[in-house]
Chain A
Amino acid sequence: MDMKAMPIALALALGATGAQANKVFVSNEKGNTVTVIDSDSWTVIDEFAAGNRPRGITISPDGTKLYVCASDDDTVRVFDTATHDELYTLPSGPDPELFVLNHSGNPLYIANEDDNLVTVVDTETHAVLAEIPVGVEPEGMAISPDGRVVVNTSETTNMAHFISTEDYQIHHNILVDQRPRYAEYTADGRKLYVSAEIGGTVSVIDIAGDGTPTLVDTIRFEVPGVLPEWLQPVGIRVTSDGKWVFVALGPANRVAVIDAATDEVVDYILVGQRVWQMAFTPDEAFLITTNGNSNDVTVIDVARQKALRSIQVGQQPWGVAVTPDGTPD
């Protein structure tokens, strides 16, 4: 990376998009904290205790509430995004790892890694609405753009389970490669990407009009000088225009850039060590990656597909979420 060009690039990007400052929340799995970064200055503005082994992290649609899976506390902790105070906890079932919010902000669908369950929790009444038995070691969670289907990936069963949000039944299962970690829909809901960490692949699943999923392609990765064993796909993000897919490659310390039209890898962006999960800023100008082993996050310029800078956070950053525009301060 050209270090001198960075501030200029940043300034250009910010100027071009007219972006407002957003808060970036990063869960630190080993540090038991959440780090808060200002997306205007890209400086750390706070770090606060977030329970034991915080991993999955997300924000309510109105931007006011931060949800954190405190895995070793067997609970979801809810924080005020303005004050960073803990508001209350939600029942999560044992060992919550990742979750996804309904587009309306309610309910929350939680993967319970130790218990082979997906737990559905009402974020207003705090009641458990359903517990859905899934495969062994459920992890990845995604919700279809129309809100009708929640997808869970199970790491040892090696499946994507398609769960109806109406009857909480599994309607389809798709076998993917070893240790599926994450699932991400395209904005039109017609494609689902599922990463397989140990398989070293991303499965491309076509979603038919009636919701039937079909495995249609498998994306593989290759980086000169990097052992194939270390190309371990984890986090996935797709731009809302459906053109670009970003895949975090774990210990390969790179984010793969995939042209969604062809599902071909076009570039690899060098980031920090053991890159795990990612989040866009609301304008999609920037993509923030958590780098677990270098204890930092990397900010990627999405349009230029370049890494801009790294920011030191807490111990073993895992997940990242960004407040939407218009969030009250």
Chain B
Amino acid sequence: MRRPICLLLAAALAVLSAGGAAALEVRVGVIRVDRPQLAPISRLEEWPRDLGFAGGRLADEDNATTGRFLGHTYVTETAAVPPDTAEAALDRMLGEGLRLFVVLGQGDDVLALADRAGDGALLLNAGARETRLRDADCRANLLHVAPSEAMLADAVAEFAIWKKWTRWALISGSHPEDRAMAEAYRRAAAIFGAKIVEERVFEDTGGSRRTDTGHVLVQRQIPVFSEGMKDHDLVIAADASDVFAPYLPFHMWDPRPVMGAAGLRPVSFHAATEAWGATQFQRRFEALTGRQVREEDYQVWLALRVLGEAVTRTDTADPAELRAYMLGPEFELAAFKGQKVTFRDWNGQLRQPLLLYDGRINVSVSPQDGFLHQRSPLDTLGLDAPESSCAAFR
């Protein structure tokens, strides 16, 4: 998905003294960087103005409620900026003494901010999915709450293998981020033992992607486009750009299930999930914001809860101490996904179950039963330690 927005959330902490009892004030700053982008293919998915911020507001409430019992207070500052002023916004917050940040944006935006913030700061990535940020392009001061493209592809692959659907047709878009998503599925197929029997590229020619007559053309285009593919059990759609994938189900030449960017989609969270106490999260979010939760909201909420939990347990706001705690064996957090989430200490990625969503319900949750790992089944999703070329965490 072309990331429209770069959200930067910063937390700064000041130790206050109140009548001899030490109190901790957690000042949180949120910067969002909006990039120009096309409207989503479905108007049901239009970007809310407070995308990401809304999750931050709920996390602030949650953290404040807990902090009340510990003498920790949380204050959040927000700003939305275009890409060319993102670094200036960061500089302003650094100037105010903020050292803890949460970033929601494209991979290169995130890296630029991490590099500018420097060693004395800690950033949590709540949006960028590029696997390279957890690999060769990793940064010591950058942890990842958002799942990587590799984790999401693996979540789909495990389900497909569990179904014994091992012959995949891979249809990818023509944009760089589509190609990266396709590569994640190629990697997943190789790891989990699926075979990509055919690949096709759907060129984005800037056509009538979302016009009144779009479906008329699509109804003729997609069958022709997908005619004559080798025998396959399912279609994997690698369409990060949101151009064609939603049109694949029902229009393809061969009737096959679609997974990836349409049909069954891997997500970090969605507004329908109610297992593992998520009903309570949904209700609190909706009461506070007046709308349903989006992945970006959940990921910012989770990033702030990671910070809040670390502050709660360590009673400090020092970025280095918090980072060490988050990456250490003591850190764990409940995240409404049925098991504790923790960080991989070799690349700073948060381990987490991923939900497989059809637009209405949880169809399944990965990792799937039977996919085992010596450390945790969650480590069957995404880059494992031996294959990581992240040097900054060694």
Cross-chain contact B62 with A156 (CB below 8 angstroms): yes
The yes or no answer to A91 lying at the interface (CB within 8 A) is no
Cross-chain contact A136 with B66 (CB below 8 angstroms): yes
Give the chain B neighbours of A161 by CB distance below 8 A: 69
Per the 8 Å Cβ criterion, residues 124-179 of A in contact with B are 133, 135-137, 154-159, 161, 170, 173, 175, 177-179
The yes or no answer to B85 lying at the interface (CB within 8 A) is no
Cross-chain contact B313 with A175 (CB below 8 angstroms): yes
The yes or no answer to A116 lying at the interface (CB within 8 A) is yes
Q: How far is the CB of B374 from chain A (nearest CB, A)?
A: 12
The yes or no answer to B78 lying at the interface (CB within 8 A) is no
Give the chain A neighbours of B62 by CB distance below 8 A: 136, 156-157
- Given the known A-B contacts A113-B280, A114-B284, A116-B65, are A227 and B377 also in contact in the complex, defined by CB atoms under 8 Å? yes
- Do most interface residues of chain B lie in helix, strand or loop, or is the interface mixed? helix
| Contact string against A for B residues 361-394, beta-carbon threshold 8 Å, 1 for contact and 0 otherwise | 0000000000000001100000000000000000
Cross-chain contact A135 with B333 (CB below 8 angstroms): no
Cross-chain contact A175 with B312 (CB below 8 angstroms): yes
**Shortest Cβ distance from A197 into B: residue:** B334
Partner of B334, one of A95, A175, A178, A229: A178
| Contact string against A for B residues 245-283, beta-carbon threshold 8 Å, 1 for contact and 0 otherwise | 000000000000000000000000000000001001001
Per the 8 Å Cβ criterion, residues 167-225 of B in contact with A are none
Give the chain B neighbours of A156 by CB distance below 8 A: 62, 66, 334
CA distance A200 to B338 in the complex (A): 11
Partner of B277, one of A116, A135, A137, A229: A137
CA distance A116 to B309 in the complex (A): 18
Per the 8 Å Cβ criterion, residues 267-321 of B in contact with A are 277, 280, 283-284, 287, 309, 312-313
The yes or no answer to B116 lying at the interface (CB within 8 A) is no
Cross-chain contact B66 with A157 (CB below 8 angstroms): yes
A-B CB contacts (within 8 Å), total count? 64
Q: How far is the CB of B373 from chain A (nearest CB, A)?
A: 10
The yes or no answer to B230 lying at the interface (CB within 8 A) is no
Give the chain A neighbours of B70 by CB distance below 8 A: 173
Cross-chain contact A155 with B69 (CB below 8 angstroms): no
Cross-chain contact B340 with A135 (CB below 8 angstroms): no
Give the chain A neighbours of B283 by CB distance below 8 A: 95, 114
Cross-chain contact A229 with B376 (CB below 8 angstroms): yes
The yes or no answer to A198 lying at the interface (CB within 8 A) is yes
The yes or no answer to A199 lying at the interface (CB within 8 A) is yes
Partner of B377, one of A135, A198, A199, A229: A229
Partner of A198, one of B65, B280, B284, B332: B332
Give the chain B neighbours of A116 by CB distance below 8 A: 65
**Shortest Cβ distance from A72 into B: residue:** B279
Cross-chain contact B65 with A173 (CB below 8 angstroms): no
Cross-chain contact A198 with B69 (CB below 8 angstroms): no
Cross-chain contact A159 with B334 (CB below 8 angstroms): no
| Contact string against B for A residues 223-250, beta-carbon threshold 8 Å, 1 for contact and 0 otherwise | 0000101000000000000000000000
CA distance A209 to B387 in the complex (A): 56
Give the chain A neighbours of B313 by CB distance below 8 A: 175
Cross-chain contact A135 with B65 (CB below 8 angstroms): yes
Give the chain A neighbours of B280 by CB distance below 8 A: 95, 113-114, 137, 155
Cross-chain contact A157 with B333 (CB below 8 angstroms): no
CA distance A168 to B114 in the complex (A): 47
Cross-chain contact A157 with B69 (CB below 8 angstroms): yes
Listed in ascending order, the chain A residues whose CB lies under 8 Å from chain B are 95, 113-114, 116, 133, 135-137, 154-159, 161, 170, 173, 175, 177-179, 197-200, 227, 229
What are 30 contact pairs spanning A and B, CB under 8 A?
A: A95-B280, A95-B283, A114-B280, A114-B283, A114-B284, A133-B65, A135-B66, A137-B277, A154-B66, A155-B277, A155-B280, A156-B334, A157-B66, A158-B309, A158-B312, A158-B334, A159-B69, A173-B69, A178-B332, A178-B333, A178-B334, A179-B277, A179-B334, A197-B334, A198-B332, A199-B340, A200-B340, A229-B338, A229-B376, A229-B377
Listed in ascending order, the chain B residues whose CB lies under 8 Å from chain A are 61-62, 65-66, 68-70, 277, 280, 283-284, 287, 309, 312-313, 332-334, 338-340, 376-377
Q: Give 16 A-B pairs besides A157-B62, A199-B334 with Cβ atoms closer than 8 angstroms.
A: A114-B283, A137-B280, A156-B62, A156-B66, A157-B65, A158-B309, A173-B69, A173-B70, A177-B332, A178-B340, A179-B334, A198-B332, A198-B340, A229-B338, A229-B376, A229-B377
| The 8 A-B residue pairs with the shortest CB-CB distance in the complex, in nearest-first order | A198-B334, A157-B66, A178-B334, A179-B334, A229-B339, A173-B69, A136-B62, A136-B65
